[in-house]
Amino acid sequence: MYAPFVAVFLGLSLFLCGTASVMAAAYQPLFLGVFVGTVTVVGASVGSLVGHALRTLVSEVGNGGAETG
């Protein structure tokens, strides 16, 4: 049932990886800068979301599981 979607996803992933490797070879400094910047932004976003989730969880546990607000 999900086979076509998986196939398309894998195909796109391979295409993007191939494109990225070609770009990395051609424009290495630029690509490296963009890659590091993207990883930094994504990492900060994920870290913020995880931190918020943990704070919410800790506050709910501290309140005995009572819903706040």
Q: For residue range 6-54, what is the model confidence (pLDDT) as tens digits?
A: 888 888 888 877 877 777 677 777 777 888 888 888 888 888 888 888 8
Distance of CA 12 to the CA centre of its chain: 17
| Helix runs in 1-69, H state only | 3-26, 28-62
Taking the model in full, what pTM does it have?
0.40
Q: Residue 64: phi, psi to the nearest 5?
A: 70, 25
Band the pLDDT of 66: cuts 50, 70, 90: low
Residue from 31, 37, 2, 3 nearest 17 by CA: 31
